[in-house]
Amino acid sequence: MRQALALSLLAVFLGGCASDPADRDISGTWINQVAIDAAAKGESLRETLQANGPNLEWDINTKAAQARFTNGFENVEGKLAGEQSGAWKVDFYGGSSVELKRDGKQLLQAAADTDPAQTFERAQDTTVPAGAPLGASFERALYATYMGGHWKVLSGPGEGGTVQFQPDGRIDGMVGADRYALCLAGDCASMSGSNDSIWLQQGNQGNSWIFARKGDQLEIFQAINGALADEMPSLSPGARQWLLEKQ
């Protein structure tokens, strides 16, 4: 009898844990870790993001019934309609909606008319400044994975030296540049066509460059603009400026 009672109490306890509201709460910042892990293989960044996107980051506040996401080009805000059976519906201006659901440590975005199903994980970087723009957590995590580590300059300015690309966009050891930004989407992507592009800046002056990543090697080329003065820039790779190899 005592054993049966103990088992009954255990079942009640476990059932209570399983239905704990905290296990279903989706508040916080969630990033597309799948895309970041795919990019870590050292292939085309644009192709990787397109294959595992389009959304890169969600920022959700259930208490305020607010949810917003970025795809690297635009930030979209929606209103949480509430939770039903573990799923949260987000309504957007214009009548579209999407369903979000917590599955353990992951946030699942259900497939919709315009977007495929996607999986997100909580952002772990606690150094992202308060008030940082939407997408900053994804960007930092991507930079740390895709550009992190020590890169030896095999050819180009600073040959023989070592370069470090920091998660916050700083560069250490690169001749002629102390800041960088990877093109994820938007106008910079339209201008570079099928090529990956990177913004390199020294002080207040900067330019777009074309880059190609193949495993542990990174080539950075001058960006040649083939458009007319009154047209949107159309960038293609010119002479190679640097060849870097990840150590």
pLDDT along the chain (247 residues), means of 10: 46 46 82 96 92 96 96 95 86 92 95 90 91 96 96 98 97 98 94 96 97 96 95 96 97
Q: Are 89 and 80 in contact (CB under 8 A)?
A: yes
First to last CA, the chain: 65
pLDDT score at 7:
44
pLDDT (0 to 100) of residue 1: 47
pTM of the model: 0.88
Q: Which residues of 122-160 are buried (b: 16+ CB within 10 A; e: fewer)?
A: ebebeebeeeeebbbbbbbbbbbebbeeebbbeebebee
* Residue 7 vs residues 4, 11, 18, 99, 220: alpha-carbon distances, Å: 5, 6, 16, 37, 65
Q: What are phi and psi of 82, to 5 degrees?
A: 110, 165
CA distance 176 to 144: 21
CB 239 within 8 A of CB 223: no
pLDDT of residue 17: 45
Task: Please calculate the CA angle 181-115-54 and round it to the nearest 5 degrees.
Answer: 10
pLDDT value for 14: 44
